[in-house]
Amino acid sequence: MRDKITPRSEDYSEWYTEVIREAELADYAPVRGCMVIRPYGYELWENVKAGLDRRFKETGHENAYFPLFVPMSFIEKEAQHVEGFAPELAVVTHGGGKELEDPLVVRPTSETVIGYMYSQWIQSYRDLPVLINQWANVVRWELRTRLFLRTMEFLWQEGHTAHATAEEAQEETLRMLDVYADFAVNDAAIPVIPGRKSDSEKFPGADASYSIEAMMGDRRALQSGTSHNLGQNFAKAFDIQYQDANGTQQHCWTTSWGVSTRMVGAIIMAHGDDQGLVLPPRLAPTQVVVVPIYRKDTERSTVMEATEKIEAMLGQNVRLKVDQRDEYSPGWKFNEWELKGVPLRIEIGPRDIAKDQVVLARRDVPGREGKSFVPLEELAAIVPDTLTDIQDSLLARATEFRDTNISEPSDYDSLRETVAEGFARAWWCGDVACEDKVKNDTKATTRCIPSDQPGGNGACIVCGEQAEEIAIFARAY
């Protein structure tokens, strides 16, 4: 562990990378653009998976698995899809020492191969809806990579559903957007803005795309989850048809939606500070760490006996770890667990035992202000309440930060200034020329057209023409 992490204010990008590596979340792989997710980082991802998977199953979805390899001919069946993904494809042209007649694409996303399977499985309206999710890895040939945020290979879930009507598909698309927003807010403690993507930003082959957009600690945006209404585009390309109640053949309406390991990057950047990670209790691999303190061997048995009582008291209700390493000082351990973002630390030594108390140290409140003395007998009641309070505090703090850094510029010059330091919320006419002008002038993009609209109309922030929707403009990862 290095003595000091680069301050966020000094070099945010360097801070981000150092925190990931020093906290042992991930490291660079020997393959360019890929990462190795270390156990601590993978456990964080497993907790993300668990929170999402529970929500998927509560909304009627089932998990399945589809092949890693997709025939190139499948990718080429949907014109917008192949055009959108062509620069990112990793293609296998040889196998078993022979050139393949139909090259195989290493899965960039699974709409095509799943569409083919749905065409085999769906025959009647009685087979609908089909609600399937898969947890998998995907490969996209990225040129500029960053741990968790953009790597050539990453982990994700991708949901794929088929429906009898356009209305059902749209309902599903928005339902899953709400599921993502609920997870981000209530588990990751990240306030997000749900909304529709512009036509130029939507998924290749979709009729409409929606996303949840989050503000990171450097005031840049991160697209943290997407949900796509694919209309009948993939159904027609892969002949996904069903016979309706009247005996007429109809094409299905399909959706897809996904969240990736990018969510781990969002958690790091939304909550982290100059000491390292600050993890929301609901997702933290370790929610509580107990650090026993003793200077003499004669004190050790007494302190460890008290530690065992604490472990018995709390271990069934929280994810708890006791740091028994004698080769490190208590101060070194404090710094390490702060770096790793453990929400709550319990310190106990001979003086505490004499007073029948422990010291609680909150990760979200640094220094002495975050410490309190708690009677040992009240620990079982206080710790869960404190974890809940930390969870709520992180969400409140992130929400205040986001809202403080969203501005409503009055003219284009103000917009240009605003997106350099945060989000701009402004009327937009929907014209791609206006969108491109903002991007070329400021490197900011339309992050989404928020679901929460004020109604009425206003003047487009770029061209001044009448606009009927507000959009969020921001620089993004």
Query: What type of residue sits at position 224?
Result: S
Burial (CB count <10 Å: 0-12, 13-18, 19+), residue 89 = middle
For 390-411, b/e burial (b = at least 16 CB within 10 A) is bbeebbebbeebbeeebbebee
Q: Measure CA of the first residue to CA of the last residue in the chain; give whole Å.
A: 28
CATH fold of 288-386: Rossmann fold (3.40.50)
Q: Average pLDDT for residues 276-283, to the nearest whole number?
A: 98
Taking the C-alpha atoms of residue 462 and residue 406, their distance in angstroms, rounded to an integer, is 18
State the number of CA atoms in the 13 A half-sphere of 73 facing the CB: 5
Closest CA relative to residue 471, chosen from 196, 204, 239, 242: 196
Confidence of residue 165 (pLDDT cuts 50, 70, 90): very high
Using omega within 30 degrees of 0 as the cis cutoff, is the peptide bond preceding 30 cis? no
Paired with 119 in beta bridges are none
* Confidence bin at 78 (pLDDT 50/70/90): confident
Whether 131 has a pLDDT exceeding 90, the answer reads: yes
pLDDT band at 1 (very low <50, low <70, confident <90, very high): low
CA nearest neighbour of 374 among 355, 391, 350, 354:
355
Whole-number pLDDT of residue 347: 97
> What integer is the mean pLDDT of 146-161?
97
Determine the average pLDDT of the residues in 146-159: 97
Which residue did the predictor score with more confidence, 84 or 411?
411
> How do residues 367-423 score in pLDDT, each as one tens digit?
899 999 999 999 999 999 999 999 999 999 999 999 999 999 999 999 999 999 999
Q: Coil, strand, or helix at residue 267? A: helix
pLDDT band at 315 (very low <50, low <70, confident <90, very high): confident
> Span 445-458, mean pLDDT?
97
Domain covering 408-474, topology = Translation Initiation Factor IF3 (3.30.110)
Q: Which CATH architecture has domain 12-271?
A: 2-Layer Sandwich (3.30)
Domain ranges for the chain? 12-271, 288-386, 408-474
pLDDT of residue 2: 63
Buried b (16+ CB within 10 A) or exposed e, 44-58: bbebbbebbbebbee
Q: What pLDDT was estimated at residue 405?
A: 98
> What is the model's pLDDT at position 4?
85
d(C-alpha 267, C-alpha 272), whole Å: 8
pLDDT of amino acid 80: 76
User: Could you give the 3-state DSSP secondary structure of residue 423?
Assistant: strand
In this predicted structure, the answer to whether residue 176 has a pLDDT above a threshold of 80 is yes
Question: How high is the pLDDT of residue 106?
Answer: 97
For residue 159, what are the contacts with CB-CB under 8 A and spacing of at least 6?
Answer: 56, 61, 131, 132, 133, 176, 255, 256, 257, 258
Q: What percent of the chain has pLDDT over 90?
A: 93
Element (H, E) at 116: helix 111-121
User: What does the pLDDT read at residue 84?
Assistant: 74
What is 20-89 written as a DSSP string?
Answer: HHHTTSEEE-SSTT-EEEPHHHHHHHHHHHHHHHHHHHHTT-EE----SEEEHHHHTTSHHHHHHHGGG-
Using CA atoms, how far apart are residues 201 and 82, in angstroms rounded to an integer? Answer: 16
- DSSP at 134: E
Q: What pLDDT was estimated at residue 216?
A: 98
